[in-house]
Amino acid sequence: MNLQAMKRTAVPLHAEVAEVLRHQIVSGELCAGTKLPALRELTEQFGVARMTVVQAMNSLEEEGLIEKHSGRGTFVKDVKVPSRHTLQMKADISQIYTMVDQLEVSVSQKDDVIEKSPEGRYFRAMSRIHTRLGKPFCQVDIKLDDDLFDRAPDRFATEIVVSVLRDLGVTVDKARQKVTIAYADFAMAQALGIKINSALFRVQREFLDDAGALIYSATLFYPGDLLEMEMEFATSTV
């Protein structure tokens, strides 16, 4: 991993390392009490000098995000995670299909494994990259009911899942989607060909059947400078 090549212009290496860990702590990904890897492990993980990691850890300690215990290691402190104000809007599911059809992306399958849920159901877990005009446009992590996957495995492996579900006539009783802002860690930056800590749109989507059971979920990450969402509101006149 070459952090030097992935870091933002004019941002010191130690600041980039600190920012990655800061986002993970503030977002709740690293919860209170989590023990951080040793300096040697972090040095190897980030591909930087030991002093760079030391500077990053010192910054996080000064901010009150971590605490060091001699002989035990470094731990995430109990910090207040900022609460989000949710703006709720209702839309028809057909708008998701229309939005997906407009993307004009190609699909590159990365991984495909079968997972068993606590309820005993089987899901096909897929990780993939959507490309547009030959460049990475979106990383997607998908879980799809395995019985549905078996109805069109070749299509699900090479096409956008939402479009295939529609074409198969799968009944979706309830659908929900949430859009938040996230930041690229090392793996995400490499996958999407962007700078570390770049802003991302994180889209979390779920489809449920008429029994309220999950049939499809996806977490999509779009580079912040490659996507915009425009909403047109219908108005009524008296």
Q: What is the distance of C-alpha 117 from the center of its chain? A: 20
Identify the pLDDT of residue 121: 93
**CA–CA separation, 230 vs 118, rounded Å?**
38
pLDDT tens-digit profile of 11-51? 888 998 999 899 889 888 889 999 999 999 999 888 888 99
Indicate the average pLDDT of the chain.
Answer: 88
CB neighbours of 160 closer than 8 A, spacing ≥ 6?
Answer: 100, 103, 105, 107, 130
> Average pLDDT of 122-130?
93
pLDDT at 1 over 70: no
| Residue 168 three-state SS | coil
Range ranked top by mean pLDDT from 1-5, 99-103, 154-158, 200-204: 200-204
Percent of the chain with pLDDT over 90: 52
pLDDT at 126 over 70: yes
CATH number of 3-76: 1.10.10.10
Residue showing tokens 């207040």: 80
Identify the pLDDT of residue 228: 84
pLDDT at 105 over 80: no
Percent of the chain with pLDDT over 70: 95
What residues does each domain of the chain span? 3-76, 94-223
Could you tell me the pTM of the whole model? 0.80
**CA–CA separation, 39 vs 41, rounded Å?**
5
pLDDT at 177 over 90: yes
- Assign 162 a pLDDT band (cuts: 50, 70, 90): very high
Candidate CATH numbers 3.20.20.70, 3.30.200.20, 3.40.50.40, 3.40.1410.10; the one for domain 94-223: 3.40.1410.10
> Average pLDDT of 204-228?
93
- Assign 95 a pLDDT band (cuts: 50, 70, 90): confident
Amino acid at 158: T
Amino acid at 155: R
Residue showing tokens 């659908």: 175
Identify the pLDDT of residue 46: 84
